Structure 1
Amino acid sequence: MPSVPFAVPDSGRPVPPSLWRDRDFRRLWVGQTASQLGEHTTLVVLPLFAVLTLDAGAGQLGVLRAVGQTPVLLLALVVGAWVDRWRTRTVMVLTDIGRTLALGAAAMAGLFGWLGLPALFVVAFAVGALSVFFDVAYQACLVRLVKREQLVRGNSALEGSRSAAQIGGPALGGALVALLSAPTAAATSALFFGLSFLSIRRIRRIESIPEHSERPSRLGRRIHEGLRFVVGDPWLRAVCLASAAFQFSFAAVMTVYLLFLPRELHLSGTAVGLALAATGPGALLGSMLAARLPSRFGHGTVLVSAAVLGDGVFLCVPALGGSPAVTVPVLLLAGFVFGTGSQLVTVTVMAVRQAVTPNGMQGRAAATITFVGMGLAPFGSLLGGFLAQEWGLRTSLLVTAAGMMLSPVLMAFSPLGRLGRKLPASHDDVS
């Protein structure tokens, strides 16, 4: 689970200039920022276009979101094994080109009136599939670009860029769909991916890809190695379980939420975008806090407390009603709290994962955890759409929000909940 918070985990002071002066790290950061901004804009543009323009029902919205999330289930493990053997710069550049073309084609189709639900399904799947490649690659790229002791700092910087995208992306996407058109919004997202391409392609450092034997192991064997490594590690196993519980429930929550805001609270597309964007400033705060709280109070304490606070705030949303002048400020506060808690969890968990994972297993470990966690998201989206149809929006939102509380419970009763102020030691390197 905002401006640029470069912070040292044990002091909260700005990151030493050595990291920011690294041109290749800076190019990665710029590309990641642009890519995440395009991705978060797209995540709002496509559902809002379906709901506000095509009058999609709850079931159709659930299917649309599930289609965009299915590539994680289908591709994550294969991508992880593949990325470990290739230069991450090449992978990210190619995926940026692909997403630019996909959204550019959607914009053109929309201008000619051809952008219906079937076309949205195709675009959502294509962007989702390419994003799987990019997300696994950039996580592995960081490990190859910076030293181990800079991982938390680097993650804080990259997660800060994602938080910046959470501020601008939803608000921009909602405003463009409401004030202009879906094709214009799609074209804007395509431009962001194009900017990411231009930045990342300028990375010049030659990556130290882990050495392999003369005869590369088969893809299935490499996937099995990644699965076995994650399952055999108590910290990573706990991360998988907690992530799966959260992503399943959160996907259901967001499907209902995207219907609840315009249809139950009668908010405009712009107001919906602002409500979703409120997670961004909270994520900025969470990113900065993640650089100092774990070393002060312990990683386990921070993980569980942040998850309870961030996930639990959604339990209050179903009670909202009345004038937008009242509901919108409350939604902004709820989004801010959720963003703070979820970002604390995201940065801390990523640092734990990278600390215990050897360089040669980074891509497969990230992909395995993504597969287990995000792989359940399509089913959560479908469940959210089904519940909204059968039970109504308020009841469905309350039930799915309650399901999110399973994640902090699983962390509390796992080795993650007992982690102290120091990160666990790394395993021996593997090929």
Structure 2
Amino acid sequence: MPVPSAASAEPNSRRPAPSSLWRDADFRRLWVGQTASQLGEHASLVVLPLLAVLTLHASAGELGVLRAVGQAPILLLSLLAGAWVDRWRTRTTMVLTDVGRALALGAVAAAGLFGGLGMPALLALAFAVGALSVFFDVAYQASLVRLVERDHLVRGNSALEGSRSAAQIGGPALGGALVSLLSAPIAAASSALFFALSFLSIRRIRRAETMPERPDRPPRIWRRIQEGLRFVAGDPVLRVVCLASAAFQFSFAAMMTVYLLFLPRELHLSGTVVGLALAAAGPGALLGSLLAARLPSRFGHGTVLVCAATLGDGVFLCVPALHGASAVTVPALLAVGFVFGFGGQLVNVTVMAVRQAVTPDGLQGRAAATITFAGMGLTPLGSLAGGFLAGWWGLRTGLLVAAAGMLLSPVVMALSPLARLGRELPAPHDTPPTAGRANSPDLTRET
């Protein structure tokens, strides 16, 4: 959809100047809502697998299926979410998905309290939460572009990714502790409360979003999806982002499936300690968010991407070597999580800023969704592969193989134009010519 420029916008819809970013009430509401939503999401990502392992005694294969079902909406719905978000209000999308996720996790709590919680119900609810999260994630990324100036996307992304880092600290620790110390229904209910808080904050955003024009013959949804696919596939930078993301997400999903089995069964750690080990990525990611606003402008975006990905992904190769008492393994796991969070967050913020910078306003949602589809769409297959590795080769060997696969991502980036990006963000790229462009005013980019 067209986004009005600062010169033509009404006063109540003008984007805040960089110096007033944190004084802008709508940006703060988005930040608070996104933080709460990420807390709920990260808590549920720990609660549901631990509930399956510790309460329902799920096997390696069943855990792989559970994670794959929760991640399947990324593959099935990302492109649809992108086309939807580019056409409708991002605020509406975010509040509706918050309500839906709160209700879904409330259903987990109710089923647990009444003794009706089993793998079939858990699979269905994990799919519902995953589907709604796809729409929320695409919407909040597109919403940021409508709130801040292009030259300060790194700063805006740094703020939002910093809140996600805080969620990585609190979410897994809270979810693991509640599953271990109290009960699975309470753990699920805690995640539902975070989504309710996100709903209350985001619904208070007052800045009006320009509704898309209604052409006489609006393009079909699949036509709009194809326009997003064509743009990303035709752009050399975004094409590499897709490939690197696919390599990382597949291997990371496999590694996490084995990791969630390796910690309690091979290292004999409690649910609380597992949550803390996962939460250790949060402080590292917080540091990465702070430095992400400075390092690319000093060393170059490409250099930061390759170095940070190599550091963050390679550190997991140390985990299969851990043995012995928790006094040794737990500090090592905390260090691994910190380094992974630091490197991963540098990559996340930098890639997101590059993607937003090269993409015209009317394609922001579809570009984000296409990259999500191409990258994270492979996570269900990765989760299944992780379950297979754990069952066939054992937890230690399977973890080593999956961790080694994560290094494919920095290799792809190092051999591509992405590695040669300098200190300045690239300029927006033109949309590819399409037969229906004249009838698609949402493709008009701000000049």
Structure-1-length-normalised TM-score = 0.95
Q: Cα offset for 1:210? A: 5.3
Q: Which of 18, 21, 36 in structure 1 is aligned with 2:20? A: 18
> Is the aligned partner of 1:159 residue 2:173?
no
Comparing 144-153 with 46-55, greater Cα deviation is found at: 144-153
1:8 aligned residue:
none
Contact (CA 8 Å) 1:163, 1:281: kept in 2 or not? yes
Q: Cα offset for 1:152? A: 1.1
Q: Deviations over 1:49-78 (max 9, x none)?
A: 111111111000000000000001000001
Q: Deviations over 1:146-184 (max 9, x none)?
A: 221221111101001111100000000000000001100
Equivalent residue runs for 1:293-312 within 5 Å:
293-312=295-314
1:266 aligned residue:
268
Contact (CA 8 Å) 1:66, 1:377: kept in 2 or not? yes
Secondary structure of the residue that 1:208 maps to in structure 2?
coil
Q: Deviations over 1:322-373 (max 9, x none)?
A: 0001100000000000000000000000000000001000000000000000
Q: Which amino acid aligns with 1:120?
A: L
Equivalent residue runs for 1:216-255 within 5 Å:
216-255=218-257
Distance 1:413 1:214 in 2: 46
Q: Deviations over 1:394-431 (max 9, x none)?
A: 00000000000000000001111111111111124724
Equivalent residue runs for 1:383-402 within 5 Å:
383-402=385-404
Distance 2:180 2:151 in 1: 45
Distance 1:297 1:133 in 2: 34
Distance 2:165 2:361 in 1: 26
Contact (CA 8 Å) 1:31, 1:197: kept in 2 or not? yes
2:5 aligned residue:
none
Distance 2:292 2:236 in 1: 22
Secondary structure of the residue that 1:375 maps to in structure 2?
helix
1:417 aligned residue:
419
> Is the aligned partner of 1:373 residue 2:368?
no
Q: Cα offset for 1:216? A: 1.5
Equivalent residue runs for 1:158-197 within 5 Å:
158-197=160-199
Contact (CA 8 Å) 1:54, 1:116: kept in 2 or not? yes
Q: Which amino acid aligns with 1:277?
A: A
Distance 2:70 2:285 in 1: 23
Q: Which amino acid aligns with 2:426?
A: P
2:438 aligned residue:
none
1:75 aligned residue:
77
Contact (CA 8 Å) 1:210, 1:360: kept in 2 or not? no
Secondary structure of the residue that 1:314 maps to in structure 2?
helix
Q: Cα offset for 1:119? A: 1.0
Q: Cα offset for 1:211? A: 4.5
User: Quick one: percent identity of the two aligned structures?
Assistant: 81
Secondary structure of the residue that 2:205 maps to in structure 1?
coil
Q: Which amino acid aligns with 2:167?
A: A
Q: Deviations over 1:223-262 (max 9, x none)?
A: 0000000000011000000000000000000000000000
1:41 aligned residue:
43
Q: Which amino acid aligns with 1:27?
A: R
Distance 2:419 2:281 in 1: 25
Contact (CA 8 Å) 2:88, 2:212: kept in 1 or not? no
Contact (CA 8 Å) 2:95, 2:202: kept in 1 or not? yes
Distance 2:37 2:351 in 1: 22
Q: Which amino acid aligns with 2:316?
A: F
Q: Which of 326, 329, 346 in structure 2 is aligned with 1:327? A: 329
Contact (CA 8 Å) 1:210, 1:359: kept in 2 or not? no
Secondary structure of the residue that 1:20 maps to in structure 2?
coil
Secondary structure of the residue that 2:21 maps to in structure 1?
helix
Q: Which amino acid aligns with 2:163?
A: S
Q: Deviations over 1:164-206 (max 9, x none)?
A: 1000000000000000011000000000000000000000111
Q: Which amino acid aligns with 1:345?
A: V
Structure-2-length-normalised TM-score = 0.92
Q: Cα offset for 1:300? A: 0.6
Q: Cα offset for 1:207? A: 1.2
Distance 1:29 1:306 in 2: 25
Any runs of at least 4 consecutive aligned residues in structure 1 with deviations exceeding 6 A, and if so which? none
Distance 1:396 1:423 in 2: 39
Q: Which amino acid aligns with 1:88?
A: T
Distance 2:365 2:133 in 1: 14
Distance 2:152 2:297 in 1: 15
Distance 1:379 1:271 in 2: 28
Distance 1:428 1:302 in 2: 26
Q: Cα offset for 1:136? A: 0.4
> Is the aligned partner of 1:115 residue 2:144?
no
Residues paired across the two proteins, number: 417
1:27 aligned residue:
29
Q: Deviations over 1:19-44 (max 9, x none)?
A: 01111110000000000000000000
Distance 2:214 2:364 in 1: 14
Equivalent residue runs for 1:203-222 within 5 Å:
203-209=205-211, 211=213, 213-222=215-224
Q: Deviations over 1:263-314 (max 9, x none)?
A: 0000000000000000000000111111101110111111000000000000
Q: Which amino acid aligns with 2:305?
A: L
Secondary structure of the residue that 2:87 maps to in structure 1?
coil
2:358 aligned residue:
356
Unaligned runs of 5+ in 2: 1-16, 432-442
Unaligned runs of 5+ in 1: 1-14
Distance 1:257 1:212 in 2: 49
1:316 aligned residue:
318
Distance 2:429 2:351 in 1: 17
2:439 aligned residue:
none
Contact (CA 8 Å) 2:18, 2:152: kept in 1 or not? no
